[in-house]
Structure 1
Amino acid sequence: MSSASLDLAYPFARLPFAASAVIVGVLSVLYLAYHWALPKPLPGIPYNQDAVKTILGDAAEIQQIKKEGGRPRAWFNLQTAKHNSPIVQAFLAPLSKPVLILSDFREAQDILLRRGKEFDRGPRHVANFSGVVPWHHIAMATSNPQFKANRELVKDLMTPHFLNTVSGPEIYNNAQNFIELWKLKAQKAGGRPFRAEDDLHTMTFDIIKVVALGEGDNQSMTALYTDLVRSTAANAQDASSAGQDEPFVFPENEPNVDLRAHGTQQEAVGAAATQPFPGLFHKMNNRKPVMREAFAAKFSMLDRQVSLGVKRMEAGAEVKSALDYMMQREIASAKKAGRAPVFNSPSMYDELYGYIGAGHETSSTSLQWGLKHLAADQRVQTTLRESLRAAYADAVSEGRQPTFAEIIKTQVPYLDAVVEEILRVTGPVRTLFRTAAVDTTILGHHVPKGTQIFLPITGPSFTTPAFAIEESLRSPSSQSHKNMRGTWDESDAAKFVPERWLKTEDDSTQVFDSQAGPMLAFSLGIRGCFGRRLAYLQLRILMTLIVWNFEFGPLPEELNSFDAVDTLTTKPARCFVRLNEVK
């Protein structure tokens, strides 16, 4: 071998022995450290083979999906089908434990409802929210003593009394502004489609803000926008000069400072969900001017509204908002503890703000999906409208829409079925999260303490056929509750079929059956969605009034695709409506 070849083959040969030894040692340590840092799979659970060849794990593929404009969250729901297994593992961040993805209704239901001591909200879920609302109970583990105190503070807000005397009437009254707006838009658009998401987003914020905080200094953005639309000339938008499928463009409805700040913070929570380290993301993101402005607007709004609430309380005014109820609860707690009440505590503020956030984003998203389903399936829309008119015969005969009192007192099984099917097929939240609080097992696999569990609530056993699982692999509590819910033909589980939620009684009447099949849109157990009753009430009222007043015409395919985007919730990429007013 030549001297030149020797130099190329042995690059350290010409260095002093000590220097060569140090370099070789450093490289060896780095090599060993790299292999030590590679993902360590749990035995027996499928995973992506390429993920264990890089310290980034599956995060490399997820980040590539994000760069290409795809949906990182959708990746999780595809993994169990990809591996043909109800449970798979994934590696989301360097030097971290694998997470498990479990796609099976029965085991998910069991974990949420009966295995609370084994599984709790985990650090990743807490980190997703704690960067924005650290003092809201959603950002706390169940074992956190503050969790119980916070739930005590808000426990009045889901009682029938509050829902029927405060929440419901405000939902109904604010809906009238929205109906007026869309009647005006239907007239101006002349049968052409127009964008709907901003109108729905604004209307639901108007509703939840007044329910949460009271009238105060609140102005309905929907009412203000209606005035803008009414005063704006159509110009070249005249319906006769364009094709009937060409969208009619209305002036933009600019959000006020409260909605703008709210949206910025909601987006931050949604963005954190797909970050390898959500807590670190929030620390960096919260330094941005837009976030500092959003936080300042949040505290300004809450300071102002709490001051107004104190004035109402001192004047002996009627309790008419979530804030009023929470202030009364705080007075009672303070008296019991022998201290002065505190109305501007971090818990008070974050519970109020979280109440607004949860009640707004999920309702807006659910309505958008619901109207898309009605436009795409004219049979369901017609059946729903006929069911409503049969249920409210007095309103039909008197030429009016149903009153709030009529809506809450009258059972309309098909309406309940439509709402449930919207939430089942296209719910605003598609995945639930838990973390193993102790060493445990899932489907016969050892799950170490601290392992995060992702529970998709679409896909296998929900909207596609379930995996075949040996009964002996299920937990004892799952086996003993095998028939807790009904089942249906899985071959059409992905289709939008409200009738699957109806059953016929002995007297041939149809009733709504909430236990007809797999459904986890609101989770279950102690960490089930706190606002479930409010969500159902809001959807029932709004769907009744919207379908009563409008027909939703078919849309061209490009305007009614069911493509989705992920923010805090999973919402339609595009939401258009083609309205005809029902006379």
Structure 2
Amino acid sequence: MKISTIPVPSPLSLWTTVRSVGAFNVACSFAALWAFVKVLKAFRWRLKTTQLRGPPRTSFIYGVLHDLASSQDSAAMYERWATEYGVAYMIPAVFGRTRVVLCDPRAIAHFYARETWTYVQTPLSLILLEASIGRGILWSQGEAHRRQRKALTPAFSNAAIRKLTSVFYDSAYKVKGAWDTAIESSKDGDAVIEVQNWMNHISLDTVGIAGFSHDFGSLDGKRASVTEVFDTFGNNQQASAVNQVLILFASAVFPTIITKIPTKRAKLFNKLSVTMGEISNDLLIRSRREKDLNVSERDEEKSIIGLLIKSEAQDAELHMSEEEVVAQMKVLLLAGYETTSISLTWALIELSRHPDVQTRLREELLAFGADPTYDQLKANLPYLDAIVHEVLRLHPPVGEFTRLAAADDVIPLSEPVRMVSGELTDSISIAKGTRITISAAAINRSLAIWGPDAKEFKPDRWLSEDGISGKAKEVQGHRHLLTFVDGPRTCLGKDFAIAEFKTVLSVLVKNFVFEMRDGLDTPVEVASGILPRPRVVGEDGIGVPLRVRRYE
């Protein structure tokens, strides 16, 4: 070959090659550094965290998380593992990660006492909450959470809820009127009514009037945009297996892209966020204009909307930004719609499955006479109270919680557990970065905690001191339940929700008899709404058709 024919690279191409090699080396260095940091963290985690036993990994990629996500009863899985491995154990998670599961009342009390400071929301939770409802009280942590909670607390006092009881009754009697009409038009003296949508609309209209002095009119058949979005969730079927896999993968590796995965459910959540934001802004603007009309300043400042407007002032002791104010409104709309409607639906299902319990409740209500006041609902109707809390025990609207340890900690146990080494320990060390899971549904229905009848719908357990087992009394949540969690993040609207629950149930049971449409053994499953909801097997969406007739 002649020398003149050998290609000689130009200076520009040489410089490009050098730059590309340099960039490649830099990228490799960063990758190596990232891997080194991950290895160090993993090594530190193993040194600082008590290594507990637990179930084997069923998937190399997903651990056991896909099994839990696709189960109709994940609480039973958690309870089964607790029986086998003890009151604290580890479960394999995505890509070799591990979670600690607590099933011990003493450990759970310690955990909740430190929540928002030592045990905080996971990055994925923060991303999802901010995308759907903003930086409100559910999103905030530490000092921000304390400030926001303190600003809202007066709106949920006994005195404030006492004034709202008439709103609860108004919604219940609207449903009574509509059902009376449906039964009158029936030839058989009864009607098959899809009760879950009615419970949804009771909850939405009630929180609109009680919280924001706004009637959405869903009980009157009005189709507000928020009603349509909420109802759409009920008609959205469970996420496909592919979607579940994508979500589990993204949440473990790239949580920031979780809201960008174009699933039908993600699109619904985005639409819900936009719709609630528009409505919250409209309500806020209207309320600012009407601030001095028809309501005394003292009453206004104790209402939810009044407190939020007051907190906007720059000189307010517990100041909230406009972004935070709108976020609180979105939280209250969503919580007011979802949780109480789910509990009311479960209550009607359980009463339909247990006619003797339904009859006994009706007898108590009829013997009492006139519609009870707020204070009478709390103190003078023990069987109603027992049924409400038995529904809340068996069917908590939010079944489990996962938090991230923001600092090293030691969690005490009420009984020792066996470690991987075979030794026993009565406390477990937790390293910063550990994920902790508590299944409220598993604790509420645990045979070890509530006794051999834990899985039964048995309201009588609440009527005597002996009805609650000694182990259950160690659970420090409301009435020994984790339904409203515990500690600094105890549900702020707990008393509001229970008062509404009791009011609506008292009106409906006093006036109607409920039966499962297809008999006592009609199977009911859990479907996917915004939160998990009951559904009669074979029905579309979240259908719960019951046979309803007037009580004569």
SS in 1 for 2:445: coil
Structure with more relative contact order (C-alpha pairs < 8 Å, separation 6 or more): 2
Query: What SS does the corresponding residue of 2:289 show, helix, strand or coil?
Result: helix
* Equivalent residue number for residue 452 of structure 2: 491
User: What is the CA–CA distance in structure 2 between the aligned matches of 1:422 and 1:428, rounded to whole Å?
Assistant: 10
Select the residue among 529, 553, 564 that pairs with 2:515: 553
Distance 1:526 1:295, change over 3 A: closer
- Decide whether aligned partners of structure 1 residues 284 and 264 sit closer, same or farther in structure 2, where only a CA change above 3 A counts: farther
Q: For residues 160-185 of structure 1, give each alpha carbon's deviation from its aligned partner in whole angstroms, at most 9, with x where no partner exists.
A: 222122x3222221222111112223
CA deviation after TM superposition for structure 1 residue 78, in Å = 5.5
Alignment of 1:296-315 (within 5 A): 296-315=274-293
Conservation of the 8 A alpha-carbon contact between 1:565 and 1:571: yes
Whether 1:94 aligns to 2:100 is no
Q: Which residue identity is paired with 2:339?
A: T
CA distance in 2, matches of 1:429, 1:108: 16
1:86 deviates by 2.5
User: Aligned equivalents of 1:330 and 1:516: distance in 2?
Assistant: 32
1:179/1:546 contact within 8 Å kept: yes
8 A contact 1:501–1:516 mirrored in 2: no
Q: Which residue of structure 2 aligns with residue 47 of structure 1? A: 54
Residue 323 (structure 1) aligned with residue 296 (structure 2): no
Structure 1 counterpart of 2:432, one-letter code: K
Q: Which amino acid aligns with 2:150?
A: E
Q: TM-score, normalised by structure 1?
A: 0.70
- Cα deviation for residue 290 of structure 1 reads 5.2
Cα distance change on mapping 1:301 and 1:150 into 2, 3 Å: same
Shift of residue 351, structure 1, vs aligned partner: 0.3
Distance 1:292 1:421, change over 3 A: closer
Could you tell me how far 1:80 is from its partner in structure 2?
Answer: 1.8
Aligned partners of 1:172 and 1:404 also within 8 Å: no
> CA 1:89–1:546 in structure 2 vs 1: closer, same or farther (change >3 Å)?
same
Distance 1:371 1:104 in 2: 31
1:135 matched to 2:135? The reply is: yes
Is the 8 Å Cα contact of residues 105 and 518 (structure 1) preserved in structure 2? no
Other-structure match for 1:259: 227
Under a length normalisation based on structure 2, what TM-score does the superposition of the two structures give?
0.74
Percent identity between the two aligned chains:
18
- Root-mean-square deviation (CA), in Å? 3.9
Identify the residue that residue 493 of structure 2 maps to in structure 1.
531
Cα 1:562–1:72 change in 2 (3 A) is closer
CA separation in 2, counterparts of 1:356 and 1:175?
Answer: 19
**Residue 289 (structure 1) shift:** 6.2
The secondary structure found in structure 2 opposite 1:157 is helix
Count, aligned residues: 469
Alpha carbons of structure 1 residues 425 and 568: separation in structure 2 relative to 1, 3 Å: same
1:334 matches 2:315: yes
Tell me: CA distance 1:106–1:76, structure 2 relative to 1, closer, same or farther (3 Å). Answer: same
**Letter of the structure 2 residue corresponding to residue 195 of structure 1:** E
Q: Say whether 1:161 aligns with 2:159.
A: yes
Pair 158,517 (structure 1): closer, same or farther in 2 beyond 3 Å: closer
User: Structure 1 pair 55/293, CA: closer, same or farther in 2 (3 Å)?
Assistant: closer
**What amino acid sits opposite 2:174 in the alignment?**
N
- Cα distance in 2 between the residues matched to 1:131 and 1:562: 32
Query: Per the alignment, do residues 50 and 403 of structure 1 end up closer, same or farther by CA in structure 2, a change over 3 Å counting?
Result: closer
* Contact 1:375–1:381 (8 Å) recurs in 2: yes
CA contact (8 A) 2:233 2:268 kept: no
* Paired AA for residue 259 in structure 1: T
Residue equivalent to 1:234: none
Instruction: Provide the C-alpha distance between the structure 1 equivalents of 2:310 and 2:228, rounded to a whole number of angstroms.
Output: 30
Q: CA deviation at 1:403?
A: 5.6
Shift in Å at residue 222 of structure 1? 1.1
Unaligned segments of structure 2, at least 5 residues = 1-27, 414-426, 467-475, 537-543
AA aligned to 1:256 is A
Shift in alpha-carbon separation, 1:127–1:299, aligned structure 2, 3 A:
closer
Amino acid at match of 1:353: K
Q: Do structure 1's residue 346 and structure 2's residue 323 form an aligned pair?
A: yes
> Aligned partners of 1:448, 1:285: CA distance in 2, in Å?
35
1:464 pairs with one of 439, 443, 446: 446
